[in-house]
Structure formats: C-alpha cells, structure tokens
Amino acid sequence: MSKLPFNQGQPQFIPLTSFIRYPEAEMLARSQAFYADIKRRKTIREFSAQPVPRQVIENCLLTAGAAPSGANHQPWYFVVVADPSLKKQIRAGAEAEEREFYQHRAPREWKDALAPLGTDADKAFLEIAPYLIAIFGQKKTVLDDGSEIKNYYVPESVSIATGFLISALHHSGLATLTHTPSPMNFLNQLLDRPQHEKPYILLVVGYPAENCMVPNIGKKTLADIASFL
C-alpha cells in the first residue's frame, strides 16, 4: 500500500485516453521532423545574459516531471537559480572543484578525451546565463508527517527526466549545457537541500551568446549505436 499522495494505494485503472494513433505516413514524417529538430541541438558554453521568460522554464520543468520513474516515485528535485549572488557563489564553488580537477585530479587520458571540447576550469557562464537548474535525485521521499519512503532506480529516473528537460528547453528555443562539476556536494549547502538528495547535473540555460562557437564534433551513425535482431 503506497503512502505517496500521487500513487493510489490499490491498483486502480482508468482508460487510456491520451494516446494518439497516427497513420504510418504521419508517424514517419513526425519521427523525421523530431530527429531533424533534435539534431540541431548543441551543447554550448558561451551564453548571452539576455533574460528568459520564467513561464517557459516552468513548462519545461513540468515536462521533466512527466517522465517515467521507478514505481512512479518521481525521485527528482529541481532548484532554479536566477539570483546573481547565488550564481556567483555557485561559480566559485564549481571553479574551485574544476581547478582541482584540471590541475590535479584528472588523469592524462581524461584530459585528452576532453581536448576536442575545449573545456577548462573557467566557468564564467555560471554567472552569465540567466538560469541554472540544479537537478537532484532523492534516495528517499520524506512525507509531510516525517515518514520516509525508499525510492528505486533513482539515477535512471533522474537521467530520463533530465533528457525530457533538455529536449523541452531545446524545443522551446533555449540552449543548455549539462555541467557536472565534480564533486557537486557544495550545491546541497548553497541551495539548502538535504543530504539524502544527490546533485546529478547543473543545467545551464539561456540563449547562445552572439557569435557563439561550438566544437566541431559529430554523432555516431545508426549502425554504430544500434542493431536490429
């Protein structure tokens, strides 16, 4: 018997009314159009400071929240940071870890792998971009009465929701960077999140800077990534 308010205690089924069955030609056209649009998405590191409508971010978070998750426990939490002084502190925390990473922690092989991306310890975008979305995974859900419920497949669930979020932001006309300062625990303290929440990704969101440059990198082919048996 689930105690979570969004899950019914007993199995209770309702008719599926939201599914749309398209004719095959339309399916083909839709799949092509979606691929063409998603393929335009590029991770960027040069952001404009131009503000972004908050309601767009809210809609994209609702999209992320519509992702499937282990036992439908929805073990994610998003902290949206627009406050300049908080962004400054996040930048300081991230750059401290990044300097350590680039100067000491990262083995040569890892630095070689990053070379085509042109990344370094300077994270000015954390102050420039209008929104930073810190994405947390919840090992457990704490209910209002203080009782605790274990969550399942947390990394998988958070990753799926993050994919939904990145796609929604792109679809809305925004660019993102999936930033992963490591370790990221400084975010718990700065953003006042409990210890049972693990930060997974710091998503940087905004418009590209004018004349934004991106690395000239490609994607694997279908044959590289999939087989049909």
Kindly list the residues in this chain that would bind ligand IYR in the complex (CB under 6 A): 98, 101, 114, 117, 119, 179-182
**Considering the complex, what minimum distance in angstroms separates the CB of residue 181 from ligand IYR?**
6
Closest of 126, 64, 65, 74 to residue 95, by C-alpha: 126
Decide whether 75 or 206 has the Cβ nearer to ligand IYR: 206
Decide whether 119 or 172 has the Cβ nearer to ligand IYR: 119
Asked if 165 and 64 count as a contact pair (C-beta separation under 8 A), the reply is: yes
**Considering the complex, what minimum distance in angstroms separates the CB of residue 90 from ligand IYR?**
13
Position of minimal CB gap to ligand IYR: 119
Q: CA quadruple 203, 208, 209, 212: dihedral positive or negative? A: positive
- Which residues, at least 6 apart from 23, have a Cβ–Cβ distance to it below 8 Å? none
Start-to-end Cα distance in the chain: 40
**Considering the complex, what minimum distance in angstroms separates the CB of residue 183 from ligand IYR?**
10
Asked if 200 and 165 count as a contact pair (C-beta separation under 8 A), the reply is: no
**Considering the complex, what minimum distance in angstroms separates the CB of residue 53 from ligand IYR?**
27
Decide whether 100 or 156 has the Cβ nearer to ligand IYR: 100
Decide whether 33 or 113 has the Cβ nearer to ligand IYR: 113
Write out the two tokens for 9.
Answer: 């205690």
